[in-house]
Chain A
Amino acid sequence: GAVVSQHPSRVICKSGTSVKIECRSLDFQATTMFWYRQFPKQSLMLMATSNEGSKATYEQGVEKDKFLINHASLTLSTLTVTSAHPEDSSFYICSARDERLAGGTPSSYNEQFFGPGTRLTVL
């Protein structure tokens, strides 16, 4: 199957700094990627939909100025947590939609491939 990578896998930063997380589709193109947040022992919560060449779409309650998303190429989306605070500490997961199966349509008949996640700890 297709592979999605995330970098870094783990990051520890000081409060007030910004952290960038990369999500790459290694062997397929993805015009749409998704960013999730997962708290311990909880489910994945969708944060935003990253669209190549256009602005990201954020879910209700997610601060777009806090969580900057850039999808500059068909294989790379980045999530930047700006002015991080301890409450931003979480597990961040990205997924990429395989356009080849969906044929470039909004149809959901497709498989999403998930990255391994990035553990962010803000001190």
Chain B
Amino acid sequence: AQRVTQPEKLLSVFKGAPVELKCNYSYSGSPELFWYVQYSRQRLQLLLRHISRESIKGFTADLNKGETSFHLKKPFAQEEDSAMYYCALSEADSWGKLQFGAGTQVVVTP
């Protein structure tokens, strides 16, 4: 069963505009949620994880257990933010096994 849903396949925004990537999950326990990013011709890399409650490259994501969401936000998009973004979930005590959403391609135009 699909546990991570990213409804948008493609998000096109102008430079300087806010961007929000949606991620919803389905899991009854206490999940670990992550956002991974893949820039063109580069490997997948961790952007941020909910447990750290940090801001990376201006991006933030808050885990909302009531809405089972973990949306990724940035107030002012930059051209270098153009990439593929994947939301991922890891179940408790799963030795780090990740389940990925379908991914959202972000294109930031000048």
Determine whether A71 belongs to the interface, using a CB cutoff of 8 Å to chain B. no
> A109-B32, A112-B46, A117-B43 are known contacts. Are A46 and B99 too (CB-CB below 8 A)?
yes
Contact status of A116 and B43, CB under 8 A, knowing A34-B98, A43-B102, A106-B93: yes
Q: Which of B88-110 contact A (CB under 8 A)?
A: 90-103
Listed residue (A32, A46, A97, A112) with the most chain B CB atoms within 10 angstroms of its CB: A112
Complex contact A32–B95 (CB within 8 A): yes
Q: Which residues 12-68 of A sit at the B interface, judged by CB distance below 8 A? A: 32, 34, 42-46, 49
Q: Smallest Cβ distance from B84 to chain A, in angstroms?
A: 9
CA distance A102 to B46 in the complex (A): 16
- Chain B residues touching A, majority SS: loop
Q: Nearest CB to that of A33 among chain B residues?
A: B96
Residues 35-57 of B, flagged 1 when their CB comes within 8 A of A and 0 if not, give 00000001111100101000000
**B residues lining the A interface (CB < 8 Å):** 32, 42-46, 49, 51, 86, 90-103
Query: What are 13 A-B pairs at a CB distance below 8 A?
Result: A32-B96, A44-B86, A44-B98, A44-B100, A95-B44, A95-B98, A106-B93, A106-B94, A108-B91, A108-B92, A109-B49, A112-B98, A116-B43
